[in-house]
Amino acid sequence: MRTLKLTVAYDGTRYAGWQIQRRNGERRPTIQDTMERALARILQESVKVVGSGRTDAGVHALAQVAHITTRSSMPCRRLLRAVNHVLPLDIAVSRIEDADPAFHARFSARRKSYRYRLFTGAVVPPFIRPYVHHVRARLNVALMRREAAALRGRHDFRAFARAGGARATTRTIYAIALKRRGQELHLDIEGNGFLRTMVRSLAGTLIDIGRGQLPAGTVRRMLTRRTRRLAGTTAPATGLSLLRVTYGTRGTR
């Protein structure tokens, strides 16, 4: 058996997220399911595509990482061409490589980086509309940056997580920055892992602070009191992209 590492980009607009889901006995369109069907067709065997983690419905990825195990000896370059020929145009595999048998896309991951894009102009250009959250209100960006700085380090982020999610809610944020790019604001965040809807909750809370709907010091109070009642609006999936997943020096060969 071979372990293959796949790097995948996708537009999540028309998908119910990464992970396979069923509703009323039928599978909903997801990235994982679409990829498994394509690879099974090419490799002529049942294939499980294991991702580095979930992305929610509507969330995009520039470099999601996944792995499969296969009996096939098909060269990686040939498989890469074949799978991109079969996949729909809103999913693309940019790289396939042989990996160490111990490599696991989720458990071997060390860091993940996300970007949340805010468009602050009057009119959103149509070609970026699926990838930004349009915020019409004037934002106090300096205050948002000061609030965001409190998120760095190791904290219990249960106040920013969906209720009923993971039991272990402590994570480490290595870097967070709010950058102006023309009419856009980019919230870039890197950590050792993220709870479900955590990045969107962080983004929504910072937006509400920037609008003046939440007071200064909200982030520190949320981290201290660990209650979601203090949180702002959860920002929509539109605008959120997984940028990259970082692994150690081992795992691929």
Active site residues: 56
Question: Cα(194)–Cα(197) distance, rounded to whole angstroms?
Answer: 8
* Matching residue, tokens 């944020």: 173
Report the relative pairing of strands 240-247 and 60-70 from DSSP bridges.
Answer: parallel
Residues 51 and 65: beta-carbon distance below 8 Å: yes
Question: Cα(220)–Cα(226) distance, rounded to whole angstroms?
Answer: 10
User: Alpha helix locations (H) across 16-127?
Assistant: 31-43, 76-86
Question: Cα(164)–Cα(131) distance, rounded to whole angstroms?
Answer: 28
Residue 52's CB is within 10 A of a number of other CB atoms, namely 26
Residues 37 and 43: beta-carbon distance below 8 Å: no
Question: Cα(52)–Cα(223) distance, rounded to whole angstroms?
Answer: 26
